[in-house]
Amino acid sequence: MAENVVLSVMAHPDDAEFLCAGVLIRLAREHGWKVHVASMTPGDCGSAEHSPEEISRIRRGEGARAAAVIGATYYCLEERDLRIGYNEIALEKVVRLFRQVRPRIVLTHAPADYMLDHEMTSALTRAAAFAAAAPNFACDRGHAPALDHVTHLYYGDAAEGKDPLGRDVTPAFCIDVSAVIETKAKMLECHASQRNWLLRQHGMDQYVETMRAWSSRRGRPHGVAFAEGFRQHLGHAYPQDNLLGELLGTL
Ligand SMILES: [Zn+2]
C-alpha cells in the first residue's frame, strides 16, 4: 500500500495557495497525509522592483514558509517564468519529484488556463503521472524506483473559473474548505512580495481578499462559505475512482 502523500505541482510559488491549499490542509489535518508543494519556477518575473535573482530568492523563501504553515515541504523545480515548456528536461524534473515523494494524489492547473505557464505545467504533470510509473522512463538518470501505479490526478480551477476564450469552466465537483479558510489565508499571506506586483500587473489589491472571493464563489452555489473546484483526469490508464472526493466529501 502506498503511503498517504499528496503533491501539488503548480507553475508559480503562490498558485497552490489560491487553487488547492484548502484541500492540502484538510488532507493533512483530517487524514494525516504528508503534503508536498512544488512550483515549476521561483516566480522570477513576478516583480517590477527586484532583479530576477532577487525576487527568485525572496519567493523561494515565501514558498517554503507558506508550506511550513501546514508542515508541508516546498520544492522549486527551477524552470523560468513565461518559459515553462513541454520538453524532456522539464518532464524529467517532474517525474523525478514524483518518484521521490511517491504521491497517491496529485493536484495541478487546469489544462486550459489564462497563461501558458499554467497549461504547460498541467501537461507536464499529466505526463509525469503516467511516466513515473513507466520503469524505462529515464531509468539511467538516478531516479528513485518507478511508481507501481499511475497517480490519481486532479485539475484545480482555471483563474477566475474561465478558459482563455472566456468560457466558464465548471468543476466536476467542489470540496468544502470553509473550516480551513483562515489557514489557507495564512499560507497566502506568506507571499508578501506578490501584493504590490499583483496590484500593478493585474489590478488586484489585497490578494488574500481575492482568494476569499474566488473560494466563496465556489462555495455559494452549494450553500457553504468557501470551496475549491476540481476536475479529475479520467483518461485511459488513470485511476477512475475519486479518491480525493471519498476522503473529503464532494459538494
Ligand atoms: Zn501562476
Q: Whole-angstrom Cα distance, residue 87 to residue 80?
A: 13
Q: Residue 14 C-alpha to ligand 1 middle, in angstroms?
A: 7
Q: Residue 60 C-alpha to ligand 1 middle, in angstroms?
A: 14
Q: Residue 115 C-alpha to ligand 1 middle, in angstroms?
A: 8
Q: Residue 15 C-alpha to ligand 1 middle, in angstroms?
A: 5
Q: Residue 118 C-alpha to ligand 1 middle, in angstroms?
A: 6
Q: Residue 10 C-alpha to ligand 1 middle, in angstroms?
A: 7
Q: Residue 71 C-alpha to ligand 1 middle, in angstroms?
A: 22
Side-chain half-sphere CA neighbours of 180 within 13 A: 23
Residue 103 has pLDDT above 70, yes or no: yes
Residue 248 has pLDDT above 80, yes or no: yes
User: Which backbone phi and psi does 44 adopt, to 5 degrees?
Assistant: -70, -20
| Mean of pLDDT over the chain | 95
Parallel, antiparallel or unpaired: strands 73-76 and 34-39? parallel
Cα angle value 130/143/120 (rounded, 5°): 45
pTM over 0.75: yes
Q: Residue 168 C-alpha to ligand 1 middle, in angstroms?
A: 19
Q: Whole-angstrom Cα distance, residue 245 to residue 241?
A: 9
Parallel, antiparallel or unpaired: strands 34-39 and 5-10? parallel
At residue 207 the predicted structure's pLDDT band, cuts being 50, 70 and 90, is confident
Q: Residue 16 C-alpha to ligand 1 middle, in angstroms?
A: 9
**Nearest Cα to Cα of residue 19 among 214, 178, 198:** 214
Q: Whole-angstrom Cα distance, residue 66 to residue 12?
A: 13
At residue 197 the predicted structure's pLDDT band, cuts being 50, 70 and 90, is confident
Q: What is the pLDDT of residues 153-173, one digit of tens each?
A: 999 999 999 999 999 999 999
Cα angle value 9/76/56 (rounded, 5°): 125
At residue 39 the predicted structure's pLDDT band, cuts being 50, 70 and 90, is very high
Q: Residue 122 C-alpha to ligand 1 middle, in angstroms?
A: 11
pLDDT at residue number 1: 55
Q: Residue 44 C-alpha to ligand 1 middle, in angstroms?
A: 12
